[in-house]
């Protein structure tokens, strides 16, 4: 009796998050390293690798983060998402709510709205204004929006999920100017300067 063998197509069940994680591990990169390079919060990178898109910002940020992360790891973004829709393991997302499955809107259908300029939010809890000290270092501590970019003397400083940040600054003898800048999309740049005099 002859048995007919019918070949079956092997379906690759590896999801997008697993591919990202495997590519990062192959390059021996840590999430914090990648986050600093791409200026994307570590929590968002973890969400992409876990296919947990509910923890990502709404709108087109999710798609932008995925594209940026994939290209950084040397993955083809179009091949990554084609035939491999992101799956949220925490909740079944409706197709219409999936940020990766939305069709591109034709340019003629766009309605241009004026950008809303939000009030800047930047608080420096220490140091105080016009401080005199004998120490050659000082810690700058403050808070802003979690997704905002903070720079102290033009050096990028990471803030946590609540927006808190801190950095130890080395002082030189005499007058030191410490310039703290906060920048966020669709928001004005906020700048605060502290002058520290060291004897």
**Is the N-terminal amide bond of 182 cis, ω within 30° of 0?**
no
The per-residue DSSP string of 23-51 comes to HHHHTT--HHHHHHHHT--HHHHHHHHTT
Domain count for the chain, please give it.
Answer: 2
Q: Per the domain annotation, does 71 fall within a domain?
A: yes
Give the whole-angstrom CA distance, residue 166 versus residue 6: 63
| Domain ranges, residue 71 | 16-109
- The confidence score (pLDDT) of residue 117 equals 53
Question: Are 25 and 69 found together in one domain?
Answer: yes
Rg of the Cα atoms in the chain: 23
Q: Classify residue 1: in a domain, yes or no.
A: no
Task: Please tell me the predicted confidence (pLDDT) of residue 10.
Answer: 44
pLDDT mean for each 10 residues of the chain (199 residues): 50 74 88 88 87 75 81 85 56 47 50 55 86 90 90 92 91 93 83 90
d(CA 19, CA 1): 44
98 and 131 within one domain = no
What token pair was written down for 128? 């105080």
Q: How far is CA 38 from the centre of its chain?
A: 7
Judge whether 10 lies within some domain: no
Which CATH number belongs to the domain containing residue 103 in this structure? 1.10.260.40
Show which of 67, 85, 109 is a domain's final residue.
109
Residues 134, 157, single domain; the answer is yes
Q: Is residue 9 part of a domain?
A: no
Could you tell me if 104 and 26 lie in one domain? yes
Residue showing tokens 């179009």 = 78
Instruction: Please report, for the domain that includes residue 176, its CATH number.
Output: 2.60.40.10
CA 146 to CA 144: how far, in whole Å? Answer: 6
132 shares its domain with 189: yes
8 lies in some domain = no
Closest CA to 193 of 142, 118, 158, 148: 142
Q: Are 49 and 78 in contact, with CB atoms under 8 Å apart?
A: no
pLDDT for 140 equals 93
SS3 82: coil
Residue 189: per-residue pLDDT = 87
At 177 the pLDDT is 93
Please tell me whether residues 24 and 105 are part of one structural domain: yes
């Amino acid at each position: 009796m002859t048995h007919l063998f019918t070949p079956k197509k092997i379906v690759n069940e590896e999801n997008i998050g697993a591919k990202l994680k495997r590519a990062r591990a192959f390059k021996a990169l840590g999430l914090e390293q990648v986050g600093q390079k791409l200026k994307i919060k570590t929590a968002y990178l973890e969400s992409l690798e876990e296919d947990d898109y509910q923890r990502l910002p709404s709108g087109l940020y999710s798609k932008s983060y995925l594209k940026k992360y994939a290209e950084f790891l040397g993955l083809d973004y179009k091949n990554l998402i084609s035939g491999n829709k992101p799956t949220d393991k925490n909740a079944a997302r409706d197709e219409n709510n999936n940020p990766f499955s939305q069709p591109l809107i034709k340019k003629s259908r766009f309605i241009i709205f004026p950008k809303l300029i939000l009030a800047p939010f930047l608080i420096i809890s220490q140091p105080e204004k016009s401080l005199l000290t004998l120490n050659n270092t000082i810690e700058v501590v403050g808070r802003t929006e979690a997704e905002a970019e903070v720079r102290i003397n033009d050096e990028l400083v990471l803030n946590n999920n609540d927006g808190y940040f801190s950095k130890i600054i080395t002082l030189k003898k005499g007058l030191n100017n410490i310039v703290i800048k906060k920048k966020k999309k669709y928001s004005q740049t906020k700048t605060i300067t502290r002058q520290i005099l060291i004897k």
